[in-house]
Amino acid sequence: MNRFLIPGALLALALVYPLLVQSLPVYERLGALVLLGAIGASAWNIVGGYAGQVSVGHAVFFGFGAYSSVVVYTHLGWPPIAGAPLGMALSVLLAAVIGVPTLRLSGHYFSMATIAVGELVRVLSSTSEFLGGAQGLGGPAIPRTVFDLSFLSAMPFYYIFLVVLSLLLLLTWIIERGRMGFYLRAIKDSERAARSLGVSAGRYKLYAYMLSGAFAALAGSLYLCMFGFVDPDSGFGILISVKMVVMAALGGAGQLFGPLVGALILVPLEELSNSLLGGQGAGLTFVVYGAIIVIIARFLPSGLLSLLNRRKVNRVD
């Protein structure tokens, strides 16, 4: 089966990657960050890419996940990862609350409304003492049990993220091939036509939004487990939302591997830029980073993966 050849090869490569770079912790960390970015962007992809509802407020869910994980530690003494299911469940509820009013909006209005909701939640979180206010909250400083997921190396995180990403992509693949996947793409192309064919567009958009929110929350929980700290900006900041959009769009939104491709390019670039930010010519690498995004948008508006499936379209009547 040719269809499984490329995903299989990718997975095999991903499995041995830490062995290839074992001597360099920097690359282990980088690998983990790429996967984490890909999880967030793949979550976004369900509603933003497949259904074409461009949310620029997914940080709300990411932040809910991260805060749920840290809150179960600070207030209940549980290991942070135990907050992940809580964050996912809360995000599904929250997605329903946000989605019902905003998903009626079309195009840019939906994007703007999600930005506003994201900012609203960010500001509220910075005023909440329960959430540690503007200072944020930290996870366990010293690991108590193995469930605290506090490791010296990034390698365990790498494999945890790899499992989560694989499951998420598998789920997305199943959706893509079933009725929901067809309906989401139809809604993206023309909501009016889809509804004329019996597609309950409102309901399917909401399902996609809730599912997407749940996995964005899981990304947030995993982030907290790895970094052990979250504040309003690193949890709910607009940059978190924008990065999910940009990664997915750069690789190819609405395509299974689009967000992963985007993460493979953007995360290393960003890490490199960050590591050089302190030194001479500070900021120059980010200028290049911006320029690369501009160039890709200019020449490959449908993302990098469009290079692969660029078929010549002839007019037939």
Q: Looking only at residues 96 through 135 of this chain, which bind another protein when binding is defined by CB under 8 A?
A: 101-102, 104-109, 111-113, 115-117, 119-120, 123-124, 126-127
Q: How far apart are CA 19 and CA 143, in angstroms?
A: 25
Q: 250 near 293, Cβ under 8 Å? A: yes
Q: How far apart are CA 89 and CA 140, in angstroms?
A: 23
CB of 204 to another protein, least distance (A): 10
CB of 98 to another protein, least distance (A): 9
Among 71, 160, 245, 261, binds another protein (CB under 8 A): 245
Q: How far apart are CA 146 and CA 79, in angstroms?
A: 9
CB of 67 to another protein, least distance (A): 17
Task: Kindly tell me which of 70 and 187 has the beta carbon lying closer to another protein.
Answer: 187
Q: How far apart are CA 103 and CA 206, in angstroms?
A: 7
CB of 60 to another protein, least distance (A): 12
- Map the footprint of another protein across residues 276-295, applying CB under 8 A: 281-284, 286-287, 289-295
Q: How far apart are CA 57 and CA 86, in angstroms?
A: 20
Task: Kindly tell me which of 19 and 197 has the beta carbon lying closer to another protein.
Answer: 197
The verdict on 315 binding another protein (CB under 8 A) reads: yes
Q: Which residue's structure tokens are 């993302």?
A: 303
The verdict on 199 binding another protein (CB under 8 A) reads: yes
Task: Kindly tell me which of 14 and 260 has the beta carbon lying closer to another protein.
Answer: 260
Q: How far apart are CA 98 and CA 89, in angstroms?
A: 14
Using CB under 8 A, which of the segments 20-28, 63-71, 164-172, 245-253 binds another protein? 245-253
CB of 203 to another protein, least distance (A): 9
- Map the footprint of another protein across residues 37-66, applying CB under 8 A: 48, 54, 56
Among 76, 129, 198, 279, binds another protein (CB under 8 A): 198
Q: How far apart are CA 56 and CA 87, in angstroms?
A: 19
CB of 84 to another protein, least distance (A): 28
Using CB under 8 A, which of the segments 20-28, 149-157, 222-230, 297-305 binds another protein? 297-305
CB of 47 to another protein, least distance (A): 13
**Cβ-count burial 291-307 (b if 16+ within 10 Å, e if not):** eebeebeeeeebbbbee
**Cα–Cα distances in angstroms (integers) from residue 187 to residues 153, 206, 306, in the given order:** 44, 12, 21
Spatial CA neighbour of 304 closest among 252, 254, 253? 252
Angle at 58 between CA 52 and CA 62, to 5 degrees: 145
CB of 231 to another protein, least distance (A): 15
The verdict on 3 binding another protein (CB under 8 A) reads: no
Task: Kindly tell me which of 68 and 114 has the beta carbon lying closer to another protein.
Answer: 114
Q: Which residue's structure tokens are 């789920």?
A: 171
- DSSP letter at 143? -
